[in-house]
Structure 1
Amino acid sequence: MKIDGRFWLTKNDKSFLGAGRIELLEKIAQTGSINAAAKEMKMSYKAAWERINSMNELADHPIINRTIGGKGGGGTTLTEYAYELINTYKRLNELHRQFINRFSEAGDNPEHLAQILNRHFLTTSARNQILSTITQITINQIHAIISMQIAGGGTLTSSITAKSAENMHLSVGNEVYGIIKSSDISLTTQKPQEDENTNIVEGTIESILSNKTHSEVSLKINEKYALVALLPNEEAKLIQEGQKAYALINYSKIIIGS
């Protein structure tokens, strides 16, 4: 046995798009006719029209244009909205297939599947989980240096083992999370000198929340993200809200998640 599943999109609790309906739309686009499309799919015109009508009733915009008679004898074409639906469905269906394939290794073993699910839906206590896109991977003997573009602007670099990069199938263009513990971030208001093993991320102090011993400091780095650092109070007293500051993060302190 193996894990499998069909992909459907529903709307208002009704079936909206599935593989068969997408194929029907594509056949209409190819033939210019609902009747011809139905024949190619070995279904009746009535069954094909019922599917088209059902989609039309649920869609936000019409999905077909019909012409009757005239010089060309009439026919049916898809609207731009219909083409958008086809492309959206295909992309989501491909992601669904990838999702199923990643779990197929479990076979008929429920416990193995539970382990895989826990691995892929891992949650972490780390305060900083920054969505980024890999721009470069440099293998340096046993280490892999991962350069990333942060969603919303900015860059991060992580150093992980080359084996980890291989096991995660990392490649340029992959979206990943840079995961950083708040205690692994230090802050300074003076622009530091470049260091080949340290990320220097510029931002603005957004908030400071303190208890008796430590302060949680939020550094806004772009419109989407703020880095949260946990500092001893004696260090936090040296900064103020609204002040420009720099986060210092060693490459080895950034875990890659995908």
Structure 2
Amino acid sequence: MKPAADRPKAAPLRIERGRRWDHLDLLARIDASGSISAAAQAMGMSYKAAWQAVEAMNNLSEQPLVERQAGGQRGCGTRLTEYGRRVVAACQGLEQERQRVLAQLDRVSGDFDAYYRVIRRFDLQTSARNQFLGRVQSVKKGAVNAEVLLDIGGGDALVAIITNDSVDHLALGPGVEAYALVKAPWVILTTDDGLRTSARNRLCGVVVRCQEGAVNAEVVVELPGGKLVTAIVTNDSVRSLGLEAGARACALIKASHIILAVAP
């Protein structure tokens, strides 16, 4: 940990500064109520917005912060994982102590640096519905493009094809932490595990939410490691594939449809 004198001044710890809702507050309310619905209602936000916030946080964390459990008003409740409780406890302690001198932060939480980095990841704002944080496993350069293998945890990995210039600009190499961004309409869903396609990435799991709109539906697939993939498909596709909560599905993503980013 850096000496207190070398640290920048701490800003008020609001996870979503400039937005209406605070992700830290949402996590704390889920922990207290055991229900995303109750937490969302208490914060004046929609149930869907709360779930989207939770899914984004789970995807940007090395370990899931929120997990489903049997029981509850809707047939299943939600609760914070032990890791999620440690993150909330560490940040709540810092919030309570932020008016004190920075030299006292070590007394507040010895894990400040590690947990603060977790919270800062939630500040990433993009239009991509799917955001995964991982570490580069390998980079294979070709004449123009490069293949980048990104470990996103939970036994899952993504292959991205980007230009060599982009690899150099982002300084990508083994061990580098990077984000993979994928727009929901770019995700193809299938219920056939053995289907052969040209898509380099296949992420299989269980459908946990399927919400139909006027024409299209939003389908969320939970992977074995706790990460979530969101796809936008037509309502006809949902019905023909039999997509519903509890059904097994695989998300197919072309390597060229993955955008890589690194924190400044």
- Judge conservation of contact 1:137–1:146 (CA < 8 Å) in 2: yes
Structure 2 CA distance for partners of 1:14 and 1:203, relative to 1, 3 Å: same
Supply the distance in 2 between the matched residues of 1:168 and 1:161 (Cα, whole angstroms): 11
2:216 to 193, 214, 231: 214
Aligned AA (1:186): I
Q: What is the Cα deviation at residue 136 of structure 1? A: 0.7
Supply the distance in 2 between the matched residues of 1:181 and 1:202 (Cα, whole angstroms): 17
Alignment of 1:113-128 (within 5 A): 123-128=125-130
Aligned AA (1:15): V
Aligned residues: 163
1:59 to 99, 107, 114: 107
SS of corresponding position for 1:163: helix
Q: Deviations over 1:122-170 (max 9, x none)?
A: 6211100011111010001111101011133311110011100101111
Q: Which residue in the other structure is 2:100 paired with?
A: 14
- Judge conservation of contact 1:152–1:223 (CA < 8 Å) in 2: yes
Q: What is the Cα deviation at residue 257 of structure 1? A: 1.2
Supply the distance in 2 between the matched residues of 1:60 and 1:122 (Cα, whole angstroms): 26
- Judge conservation of contact 2:216–2:233 (CA < 8 Å) in 1: yes
| CA radius of gyration, larger in | 1
Supply the distance in 2 between the matched residues of 1:196 and 1:173 (Cα, whole angstroms): 27
1:243 to 240, 247, 252: 247
Moved more, 184-193 or 136-145: 184-193
Q: Deviations over 1:32-64 (max 9, x none)?
A: xxxxxxxxxxxxxxxxxxxxxxx6x98269xxx
Say whether residues 1:149 and 2:235 are aligned partners: no
Q: What is the Cα deviation at residue 225 of structure 1? A: 1.7
- Judge conservation of contact 2:160–2:259 (CA < 8 Å) in 1: yes
Structure 2 CA distance for partners of 1:204 and 1:16, relative to 1, 3 Å: same
Q: What is the Cα deviation at residue 6 of structure 1? A: 4.3
Alignment of 1:31-180 (within 5 A): 59=107, 123-180=125-182
> Relative contact order (C-alpha < 8 Å, sep 6+): which is higher?
2
Identical-pair percentage? 24
Scaled by the length of structure 2, what TM-score is found?
0.55
5+ residue gaps, structure 1, are 18-54, 62-84, 96-120
SS of corresponding position for 2:165: helix
Greater than 3 Å deviation, 4+ residue runs: 8-11, 192-197
Supply the distance in 1 between the matched residues of 2:168 and 2:106 (Cα, whole angstroms): 44
SS of corresponding position for 1:14: coil
Give me the CA root mean square deviation.
2.9
1:201 to 196, 203, 225: 203
1:256 to 251, 260, 264: 260
- Judge conservation of contact 2:198–2:254 (CA < 8 Å) in 1: no
Aligned AA (1:200): R
Aligned AA (2:107): A
Structure 2 CA distance for partners of 1:122 and 1:60, relative to 1, 3 Å: closer
Scaled by the length of structure 1, what TM-score is found?
0.56
- Judge conservation of contact 2:153–2:225 (CA < 8 Å) in 1: no
- Judge conservation of contact 1:194–1:200 (CA < 8 Å) in 2: no
Q: Which residue in the other structure is 2:229 paired with?
A: 227
Q: Which residue in the other structure is 2:62 paired with?
A: none
5+ residue gaps, structure 2, are 11-93, 118-122
Supply the distance in 1 between the matched residues of 2:106 and 2:132 (Cα, whole angstroms): 37
- Judge conservation of contact 2:199–2:252 (CA < 8 Å) in 1: no
- Judge conservation of contact 1:187–1:248 (CA < 8 Å) in 2: yes
